Structure 1
Amino acid sequence: MADEDLQPVFNIQRMYLKDLSLEQPNAPASLLEQGQPAVDINLTLAAQPVQEGIYEVAVTATVTTKVNDKVLFLIEAKQAGIFEIRNLPQEQLDGILGIVCPQMVYPYLRVIVSDMCTRAGFPPVLLTEVNFQAMFEAQQQARAEQAAGATQN
């Protein structure tokens, strides 16, 4: 094997919108509601192998906006990227998939959610910056605690 075959590889193959939905279940009545809307934002992250050395990383945002307990709108957007990642130890691969790739995908998701709100006739919802490293470390800690609890039982 040549030395270049063992060099770490990281390439972005493609960024794409995997799924997008908008619901306004109580329109038009909900559009006449007065009051400050409550916005609930839920983010999820998924990473999976597509083929040898190729991974899909997807970040999903679910945005639910209500006024007086009536849903104004619900947006679910899933932005994904395909990444070529080779010749890395598993612990580094986990960090790349859980931190680096989502950081690259997330700005696209932020734009899509904001744009969809505007197109639906509402002020844009601006997703805040996310510290994917802190999220990753919290998930690793929770897994470690769960594993420790399972071995004690």
Structure 2
Amino acid sequence: MSDTPATPNADPQGVDPNAAPSLTVLAQYLKDLSFENPRAPAVYQSNSTPKIDVNVDVQGRGLNQNQYEIELSVASRANRENGDAMFVVEATYAGVFEIVNVPKDQLEMVMMVECPRLLFPFMRQIVADATRNGNFPPLMLEPIDFMGIYIANAQRREAQAGQA
């Protein structure tokens, strides 16, 4: 929290029109990491190319005034052609962000797009290291279009609201 008095030019949303929006990373950390290799050592005797499924999730919550925790979660599973799991990796990487002078109607977009975009390179490295340490080729996550996902989710919510 800040001891700075409210700016007289601030609009009702608390945004000072004379101040630039800012996004500051206050902390980032690994919250959860799990790697499973359920078929070891037999899994290494197969030369089959696995089918890899990757799921990504972003969650955000307020902590203090202008401070938010954003969690980027990845769950990936590699399966053989017969459906047997080769490996499963799940990770949650989070950050605490200070977001100031952003209009309230744009805050969710900053939290769900810009914050995970900053966390993603670290998550990518964690997943690659975990799979490499499990004696598999490193799983290099493809870049994620967080803005595209955000827009698609917003359109889906609008369509559901229109049906209700």
2:107 match: 93
For these two proteins, the number of residue pairs brought into alignment is 150
Higher helix share: 1
Deviations 1:45-87 (A, max 9, x none): 1111122211011111111011131101100011111101133
Higher mean C-alpha deviation, range 3-12 or range 137-146: 3-12
The aligned amino acid for 1:121 is: N
Q: Cα distance, 1:3 vs. partner?
A: 6.0
- Alpha-carbon distance in structure 2 between the residues aligned to 1:86 and 1:4: 15
TM-score, scaled relative to structure 1: 0.90
**SS of residue paired to 1:27:** coil
Matched, 1:22 2:40: no
**SS of residue paired to 2:139:** coil
Matched, 1:117 2:126: no
TM-score, scaled relative to structure 2: 0.84
**What percentage of aligned pairs have identical amino acids?**
31
Check whether the contact 1:98–1:136 (CA below 8 A) recurs between aligned residues: yes
Deviations 1:2-57 (A, max 9, x none): 46983344211011111100011222233323311111111111111122211011
Matched, 1:64 2:77: yes
Check whether the contact 1:30–1:70 (CA below 8 A) recurs between aligned residues: no
Give the unaligned 5+ runs of structure 2: 1-5, 11-15
- Alpha-carbon distance in structure 1 between the residues aligned to 2:23 and 2:58: 19
2:150 match: 136
- Alpha-carbon distance in structure 1 between the residues aligned to 2:163 and 2:9: 43
Please tell me whether Structure 1 or Structure 2 has the larger radius of gyration of its CA atoms: 2
